Amino acid sequence: MQLRQNDKEFEFVAKAEKAIAADLARVDEIALQNQAKVLDAFHAHNVGQRHFAQTNGYGYDDIGRDTLAAVFADAFGAESAVVSPQIVSGTHALTAALFGLLRPGDVLLSVSGEPYDTLKEAIVGKDIGSLADLGVVYRSVALKDGDFDVQAIKEEFKQRIKVVFVGRSRGYEWRDALSIEQIERLCKLVKSLQDDVIVMCDNCYGEFVDTLEPVQVGADIMAGSLIKNPGGGIAPTGGYICGKKELVRQATFRLTSPSIGCEVGSYAYGYREFYQGFFLAPHVTAQAIKTSMLFGAAFDMLGYQTMPRTGAVCRDIIRSIKFNTEDELTAFVRAIQSASPVDGNVTPFAWDMPGYEDQVIMAAGTFVAGASIELSADSPIRKPYIAYLQGGLTYEHRKIALANCLKTLNLIH
Ligand X SMILES: *Cc1c(COP(=O)(O)O)cnc(C)c1O
Which of 89, 287 has the CB closer to ligand X? Answer: 89
Q: Does 202 bind ligand X (CB under 6 A)?
A: yes
CB closer to ligand X, 41 vs 122? 122
For ligand X, which residue of 204, 336, 377, 400 counts as binding (CB under 6 A)? 204
For position 90 contacting ligand X by CB under 6 A, the verdict is yes
How far does the chain reach from its first CA to its final CA, in angstroms?
18
Q: Minimum CB separation from ligand X for residue 349, in Å?
A: 19
| Distance of closest approach, residue 204 Cβ to ligand X, in angstroms | 3
Choose the stretch contacting ligand X; rule: CB under 6 A; options: 113-121, 190-198, 328-336, 338-346: 113-121
Q: Could you say whether residue 225 binds ligand X (CB under 6 A)?
A: yes
Report the largest interatomic distance among the alpha carbons of the chain, rounded to a whole angstrom: 65
CB of 318 to ligand X, least distance (A): 8
Choose between 130 and 169: whose C-beta lies nearer to ligand X.
169
- Which of the stretches 4-12, 58-66, 89-97, 263-271 binds ligand X when contact is defined by CB under 6 A? 89-97
Among 42, 99, 165, 205, binds ligand X (CB under 6 A): 205
State the binding string over 151-180 for ligand X (x if CB under 6 A, else -): ----------------x-x-x---------
Nearer to ligand X, 359 or 408 (CB): 359
Under the binding rule (CB under 6 A), the answer on residue 282 touching ligand X is: no
Q: What is the distance, to the nearest Å, from the Cα of residue 54 to the centroid of all Cα atoms in its chain?
A: 28
Comparing CB distances to ligand X, the nearer of 84 and 404 is 84
Q: Are 88 and 237 in contact (CB under 8 A)?
A: yes
Count, residues near ligand X per rule CB under 6 A: 13
Nearest CB to ligand X, comparing residues 59 and 231: 231
For residue 330, state whether it binds ligand X (rule: CB under 6 A).
no
What residues numbered 116-155 form the site for ligand X, per CB under 6 A?
Answer: 116, 118-119
Should residue 67 be labelled a site residue for ligand X when binding is judged by CB under 6 A?
no
- The stretch near ligand X (CB under 6 A) out of 96-104, 129-137, 200-208, 329-337 is 200-208
3-class DSSP string for the chain: CCCCCCCHHHHHHHHHHHHCHHHHHHHHHHHHHHHHHHHHHHHHCCCCHHHHCCCCCCCCCCHHHHHHHHHHHHHCCCCEEEEECCCCCHHHHHHHHHHHHCCCCCEEEECCCCCCHHHHHHHHCCCCCCCCCCCCEEEECCCECCECCHHHHHHHCCCCCCEEEEECCCCCCCCCCCCHHHHHHHHHHHHHHCCCCEEEEECCCCCCCCCCCHHHCCCCEEEEECCCHHHCCCCCCCEEEEECHHHHHHHHHHHCCCCCHHHCCCCCCCCHHHHHHHHHHHHHHHHHHHHHHHHHHHHHHCCCCEECCCCCCCCCCCEEEEECCHHHHHHHHHHHHHCCCCCCCCCCCCECCCCCCCCEEEECCCCCCCCCCCCEEEEECCCCEEEEEECCCCHHHHHHHHHHHHHHCCCCC
- Residue 112 vs 337, nearer CB to ligand X: 112
Residue number with CB closer to ligand X (62 or 202) = 202
- Using the minimum distance from each CB to ligand X, give the nearer residue, 113 or 270: 113
Q: Which residues bind ligand X (CB under 6 A)?
A: 89-91, 116, 118-119, 167, 169, 171, 202, 204-205, 225
